[in-house]
Each structure stands twice: as C-alpha cells, then as structure tokens.
Amino acid sequence: MTYIETLGANAAAAKKSLISADTEKKNAALAKIAEALIKHSDEIIEANAADLKAARENGMSVSMQDRLMLNEDRIRGISSAIGELIKLEDPIGKVDSGSVRPNGMRITKVRVPMGVIGMIYESRPNVTADAATLCLKTGNAVILRGGKEAYNSNKCICNIMRDAVCEAGFPKDIIQFVDDTTREVTTELMKCSKYLDLLIPRGGAGLIKAVTQNATVPVIETGTGNCHIYIDKSADIEMGVNITDNGKTQRPSVCNALETLLVHKDIAEEFLPAVKARLDEHNVELRGCPETVRILGDCVVPATEEDYATEFGDYIMAVKVVNDIDEAIEHIGKYSTGHSECIVTNDLGNAEKFKKEVDSACVYVNASTRFTDGGMFGFGAEIGISTQKLHARGPMGLYEITSNKYLIDGNGQIR
C-alpha cells in the first residue's frame, strides 16, 4: 500500500466508530478538543513561530503572515468556535422528508455522513481545527493536507486533536494529517477514489485549479474570492467608505476581502477622495481606470485587465468608475469568481436588481462582504465557502458535508 492508501484505509476503518456514535459522544469529543487546544496553546504558538520564521525568510507578504499567525486570542477563538459547534443541532439522522406510498411502503429521507473527507488547504492553520471538528460532528473521518508554509502549526494542532478524540473513546484515525507535502503525494490524494468520498480544496486560484484538473474524487470548489463592491449613485458616502474600508483592510488576505471597487459616475467626484483618504491610513495601493486617475491623480496606478481579474489578497484594490448599475453588474459578471459582492445604495429598486442579477454565492446590500463566514452565518465554523452550485454554495457548515439516504419500510410488498 502507498502512504495515501494507508491513510485512506485507516480512515475507512475509523469512520465505523462514528457511524454508531450519538450526538452526546461526539460533542464530548469536541469538548475535549476545545479544552486541549487551550491547554496546549504554548506548544501551538511555538510551532507557529517556526512557520512564521520560515515565512519571513521566504519573503511572505505581511498580509499573508497575518493569515498564518496564531496567538492566544486566535487559539481561544478556535476553541470558542468549537464550543458554538457543540451547541448546534446534529444533522445526522435528521429526517428531511417522508411519505407513505399507495402500496403501503413508508419512505423516509434521512441525513447521513459523507464518509471520508479529504481537505487540501493553504496558509491558515485554523482550518485544521475547523475542518476536523465539523467532520467529527457530522460523523465523517477526515484526512488533512495543509500547506507547507503552515506545516508545523497544522501538525501540532492535529496531534493535539488526535489525542483528545482518543481520550473521548474514538480511534485517533478519525483525524489524520498528511505529513508529506510533496506534489506527488498531494496528487495521489486527489485520486484516492477508493477511500475518499469527497475532496474539498481551500485556498488560492492555483490550488483550486490544480485540484479540479487532477482529482478523480468528487470535489467542492471553495475559496477563490475576487469580491466586488458597487457604490450606487444614491449611496450614503460615509456608509460606503466604512464598508469599503472594512471589506478591504480588516483582513486583506482572506477570501471574503474586497478586491474591486466600482463607483457610479454621478457620485465618483465626491466618493473617491473620501474613500482614498480612509484607505491611505492602511497604505492601500489603488489601481484605477482613466476616470479614477483623472479624479485622484497620479497616486493611482493605471489599472490593467489583469488587475480586475486578480484576487490580490493584499493592500491593493482595483477601482473603476461605471456609468450605471447595469455596467457594474456586467463587470462583476465578467470578473467575479462567484464568491461575495456588495452594493451600497438607498435605492430599493437597485438593491433588488443587484440581488437578482448578480450570480454569486453571497450578495450583500449595505453590509460588508467580510461577513461571508460560517461563524458569522451561525454555522459555528465552516469547512469552506463554495463558489460552485452543485450540492453546496456559500459558507459550508454541518449540513453541507452530509448526504442523504432513503429508508424504506414495507410489509412484504413486491413489484
């Protein structure tokens, strides 16, 4: 057996213990994990420090280092999210629907685990805990392949969780970590259809493309976020500035951060200087259309076609002045990755038009795209944000990593 096949076989064997586990036992294991992460926070921070040191030496951007960094507050946040997950209803065994056929057969559609889920992800070590705990709650075994830039952090967190679930009476292998970060092993994981029921990539466009092109396991695409905000001509200037600033600078490296600002021509002369003054506080580089350059001057870098198609993940923002809402929607349709878009407006008709015609997973009116998050949506945590339409779309919580099966009770019926 290869290394990946061994992990797959281990997961397939371990998942059997989850099938019969009730909610109380799964929640007890989650509580053990939450407690253990706090107890061993010094070890996690020490491992994370090694990753951060390597990141600085390799020239990783400051915003991406922030994405990688763990401290006591962030570890408490991870533990707290697990506490919220414990409170949520367990979807496994839930009856979705049912009927009695004319011949007397009783058909019941119920929620069941997927089985074994593979995760391939980059940079953010909190994903290790989020993915593992969501899978545990839903009765799924998980194989985690994090990025090499967070190797030490991910491995430390995974080992802590494995020990915790063991204390709770589960086999350690309901959670496994891929130690080998080589491309060959990662590709093998993508093709491990004998054992994996679902593969979820979470990261940048390059990772998503590699997985979708190579995987033979069913894939849910997540993560790539070229997100837009459109400032309508009726928008409140202060609100628009606040939402743009929050969406771009609060945490620019994450997938729900804003990348492109679209401004109606009738409000551009007033809005652009106001938003630039706020963004200047964070040294945001603006890359704008000719009209943006005319209004703001040479401090704006002339935008290219590529800029409008780029998920910067940094303190850079593309800007375009548009003639009307139709041009804004057309621009979003051309360049968006289908993640999250926002309109700031006081025009109810335009708000409704934007919600209907913008084809993204999350569409906001007068609120920051930074809310596209499982925790913010009340899901406890998230395993990713799906930008596709089959099976799951938007932040994926418990329900999205389950399947269904039909239970049919009869009394001798034949066909």
3-state secondary structure 85-129: HHHCCCCCCCEEEEEECCCCCEEEEEEEECCEEEEEECCCCHHHH
**Does residue 322 share a domain with residue 193?**
no
415 lies in a domain? no
Same domain, 240 and 347: yes
In a domain, 381, yes or no: no
Contact 26, 136 (CB under 8 A): yes
- What CATH code is carried by the domain that includes residue 141? 3.40.605.10
- The answer to whether residue 271 sits within a structural domain is yes
pLDDT of residue 91: 95
pTM over 0.75: yes
d(CA 324, CA 266): 9
Query: How many separate domains does the chain show?
Result: 2
**181 lies in the same domain as 248:** no
Whether residue 216 sits in one domain with residue 112: yes
Within-domain flag for 376: no
Sheet holding 227-231, edge to edge: 301-302, 285-288, 316-322, 258-264, 227-231, 340-344, 362-365
Same domain, 77 and 175: yes
Q: Both tokens of residue 283? A: 């040294």
**Is residue 33 a part of any domain in this protein?**
yes
Contact of 84 with 395, CB cutoff 8 Å: no
Residue 78 per-residue DSSP state: H
Same domain? 107 vs 158: yes
Given a cut of 70, the residues of the chain with pLDDT beneath it are 223
| Backbone region of residue 62 per phi and psi (left: phi > 0; alpha: psi in -120 to 50; beta: other values) | alpha
Using the Cα atoms of residue 124, residue 127, residue 128 and residue 129 in order, give the sign of their dihedral: positive
Residues 192 and 71 in one domain: yes
On whether both 177 and 250 belong to a single domain, the answer is no
Same structural domain for residues 216 and 262?
no
b/e per residue, 217-241, with b = 16+ CB within 10 A?
A: bebbbbbbbbbbbbbbbbbeeeebb
Q: Which of 401, 9, 2 is nearest to 173 (CA)?
A: 9
Give the tokens for residue 122. Answer: 């980059």
CATH code for position 352: 3.40.309.10
Domain identity same for 271 and 296: yes
Same domain (yes/no): 398, 299: no
- The range of the structural domain enclosing residue 321 comes to 227-371
Decide if 360 is inside a domain: yes
Output Rg (C-alpha) for the chain, integer angstroms: 23
Q: Does residue 62 lie within any of the structural domains? A: yes
CB atoms within 10 A of CB 151: 18
Amino acid making up residue 244: T
Dist CA 394 CA 388 (whole Å)? 8
Same-domain status, 173 and 291: no
How far apart are alpha carbons 239 and 231 in whole angstroms? 10
Residue corresponding to tokens 């998230």? 382
Question: What is the number of other CB atoms lying within 10 angstroms of the CB of residue 401?
Answer: 27
| Rounded Cα gap, residues 299 and 288, in angstroms | 10
The answer as to whether 332 is a domain residue is yes
Measured distance CA(310)–CA(308) in Å, rounded: 6
Q: Which pLDDT belongs to residue 223?
A: 67
Q: Rounded to 5 degrees, what angle do the CA atoms 123, 261, 222 make?
A: 35
- pLDDT of res. 387: 84
Q: Name the burial class of residue 187, with classes exposed (0-12), middle (13-18) and buried (19+) by CB atoms within 10 angstroms of its CB.
A: middle
